[in-house]
Chains A and B, each alone.
Chain A
Amino acid sequence: MSDRNDPKKIDLLDAALSAYGQVAPRPGLEARILGRIEENARRRRFVFRGLVVATAGATGLGLLLLVISRDHVPVHESTIASRPKVEQEIVPARQPEVALAPKEAIARIKVTAASVVSRQATFPAPSEPSDQERALAFLMQSRQEVLVALSRSRPPEAGAEMDIPPIKLDPLPGGGFESPEVRNQ
């Protein structure tokens, strides 16, 4: 420590630090840096193009899978309860059919059956008719036929005009029972 201010030692430190800081890069440093920058830019362009191609491919594959999956939709039993309501119909309270005239009853059945059929015949149909709907349509059709048959076989109402042809009876051989018309004559 006694020779702290010795110019020789101070010069030694400065000389050492000066030599310490002197350094030169190897020749061609700029070219190597520019080359690496160019390589980096090329790699980034390659990655970008790869990403574009991969994205396009993934989109196409997704669309293809979507189309295929739509062709193979699994058919499952659907019920009215499980399906979403397309439109809500207000059904009036059912009147006793006995009070209705046969013509009115037939007209009502026709309307009900037509509504069921029209829902089935709607195109594009909201969905396939369920088993319950098919059974209902079948029941309506068969009920319609039964009621038509019943109305034909039902006796006419009192007071209605009837066109009944007169009964013609041939006289019995040997003088038997005579019809009232013959007797009146």
Chain B
Amino acid sequence: MAFSTQVCCNQEMLIVQAAEDRVEFLVKEYAGFVFRVAYSVLRDYHDAEDAAQETFLRLLRHRSELPGIREPRAWLARIAFRIALNKYRSRRVESDDPATVLAGLAASGIPAEEFVQRGEMKILLERLIVTLPADLRDVLRLSTMEELTSSEIATILEIPGNSVRTRLHRARQLLREKLESVLGINHE
């Protein structure tokens, strides 16, 4: 009886050890990727790193399900995206009024090319992306990560692949219009 208990405990310890080794492997393999997924939503280094850590802690809590996960990359991306989205919703949102953004840019009088060269283009783009509808915004943000394919985005958002392509097209179109509007004002 004692022998069987010992064997059972040893087996359990081996399973736990194997799961921890697997988690460690996944951290080394996908930490940067998970961080970038979180960053695409949060646009903040500190928050994105927190979200990445939370993602791997959640993975550790579900380590018993690890052998059943066929695509850990997509699984991690989905978890990281959800965590980041929750963080994004819970934190205080700055004033994203497009009119305010456009008026600020018009007042600055800086040419569009200079915006692109300077780091401020990222800020401008973020402010414009925030004004997009949520379903278009999520697709566009994930698509800016070149390492994510359309099917992976579909897996993360749990929507069909065709919807990803449609939404991405609409998002780019809307963003282009907004950007042209902004740059048109600056050129005047």
Contacts and interface: CB of A to CB of B under 8 A. Distances in A.
Interface of A: 1, 3-4, 9-10, 12-13, 15-21, 23-26, 29-30, 32-34, 36-37, 40-41
A19 B52 contact: no
Interface of A is mostly: helix
Interface of B is mostly: helix
B126 A24 contact: no
Pick the most buried of A18, A20, A40: most chain B CB atoms within 10 A of its CB. A20
CB-CB nearest 4 A-B residue pairs: A21-B144, A25-B35, A30-B31, A36-B53
A37 B21 CA distance: 12
Contact of A40 (B28, B31, B45, B60): B60
B176 A10 contact: yes
A34 B24 contact: yes
A3 B35 contact: no
B97 to A, nearest CB: 21
B-side interface size class: 35 or more
Interface of B: 23-24, 27-28, 31-32, 35-36, 39-40, 45, 48-49, 52-53, 56-57, 60, 112-113, 116, 121-122, 124-126, 144-146, 172, 175-177, 179-180, 183
A4 B179 CA distance: 10
A24 B146 CA distance: 13
